[in-house]
Amino acid sequence: MKTRAFQQVDVFTATAFLGNPLAVVLDGEGLSDAQMQAFARWTQLSETTFVLPPTPEGAAGGADYRVRIFTPGAELPFAGHPTLGTAHAWLKAGGQPRQNGQLVQECGVGLVSLKSVDERWAFAAPPLQRQTPAPARLAEVLAALGLHADEVLAAQDLNNGPHWLGLLIDSVDTVLALEPDHAALKRLNTKVGVAAKRETGNSGLIRRANREARAFAGAMRIANDPTDLEVRAFAAPVGIAEDPVTGSLNASLAQWLMAEGHMPKRYSARQGTALGRAGQVFLSQDESGQVWVGGDVVGCVQGTVTL
């Protein structure tokens, strides 16, 4: 064991404690998979990252550093809030990019580019594979969520490294009122991202009276919300009942929803409302068709950890 530089940052927020926290071990060299997983389980954050030198192949491709990403239950090939949070921590710790104003991160899915978009860092969404979910499986997931089929406007299996079942729901109120059966989602081994376009006024119907106060209380926590999409992420199979703000999910949702015309080429998403958070994710598509996922990051803890 040795003393290693450590930071904890809050991602997808400009105000500390309203986003998604991330633990970053800035020197992961010499740690085994089991040691990394044990520390991630101990932090009990949705993700913990370990920074390493690039592999020879990564360095040849321009990587500035390599990162391994762990939830309390498993390693991930890619995740969005760890990508932005690790970049922030690495730069704050004195990391020097090979190219000014750009970063290249090596991770399980390969090389991920980051750049400044509208004065905040954004990562290039990895290539997305998507398909229509099998009807039987979709029905099981909807039952676990407590949703009726007529409340779902569209559904897609989304895979950009992490695999999500994406659901576009009829209203923000319906999204905020969800109380999933997390044990059922774990049995189904399905991570689910639900989203609804924000409309003026309360057009959605809340089907269960005992959810009404929670749904409206959640919506009222952010008065005059400027965002375009409300998102929730349920990830019981990797040890997280609900993730506060999820970059990989928002990336794949944007690639899908923009391609199908459900959302414009530039929009912002809110996530974490039901958890008392106010995460904000900025999505945009450039002329080449590349989707960029941006967000603010705030440093909260800086010191060392013995690992």
- How far CA 213 is from CA of 38, 165, 210, 278, in Å, comes to 39, 28, 7, 19
93 DSSP assignment: T
Is the per-residue pLDDT at 4 higher than 70? Answer: yes
Higher pLDDT, 80 or 224: 80
pLDDT in tens, 128-167: 999 999 999 999 999 999 999 999 999 999 999 999 999 9
User: pLDDT-based confidence at 222, cuts 50/70/90?
Assistant: low
Residue type, 210: N
Task: Delimit the domains of the chain by residue range.
Answer: 3-125+295-306, 129-287
Report DSSP letters for 165-189, one per residue: EEEEES-HHHHHH----HHHHHHTT
pLDDT attached to residue 223: 60
pLDDT in tens, 166-221: 999 999 999 999 999 999 999 999 999 999 999 854 444 444 444 454 444 444 44
pLDDT attached to residue 200: 52
User: Is residue 157 within 8 Å of residue 200, measured between CB atoms?
Assistant: no
Same fold, 3-125+295-306 and 129-287: yes
**End-to-end CA separation in angstroms for the chain:** 5
Alpha carbon distance 191, 71 (integer Å):
13
Q: Tokens at residue 94, please?
A: 């004195």
Report DSSP letters for 266-302, one per residue: EEEEEE-GGGT--EEEEEEE-TTS-EEEE--EEEEEE
pLDDT averaged over every residue in the chain: 92
99 DSSP assignment: B
Sequence-ordered alpha helix ranges (H) in 199-293: 212-220, 247-259
> Nearest CA to 81 among 243, 191, 235?
243
Q: Tokens at residue 248, please?
A: 């990989």
Please, what is the Cα angle at 67 between 29 and 275, to 5 degrees?
Answer: 120
The stretch 245-268 carries a mean pLDDT of 97
Alpha carbon distance 170, 111 (integer Å):
36
Cα 17–chain centre separation: 16
Is the per-residue pLDDT at 246 higher than 80? Answer: yes
pLDDT in tens, 91-117: 999 999 999 999 999 999 999 999 988
Selected from 3.40.50.1820, 3.40.605.10, 1.10.357.10, 3.10.310.10, the CATH number assigned to the domain covering 3-125+295-306 reads: 3.10.310.10
Q: Render the burial of 245-267: b for 16+ CB within 10 Å, e for the rest.
A: bbbbbbbbbbbbbbeeeebeeeb
User: pLDDT-based confidence at 88, cuts 50/70/90?
Assistant: very high
Q: For residue 200, what are the β-bridge partners?
A: none
pLDDT attached to residue 118: 86
Counting residues of the chain whose pLDDT is more than 90, the rounded percentage is: 87
List phi, psi (to 5°) of 69: -120, 125
Architecture of domain 129-287: Roll (3.10)
The stretch 261-267 carries a mean pLDDT of 97
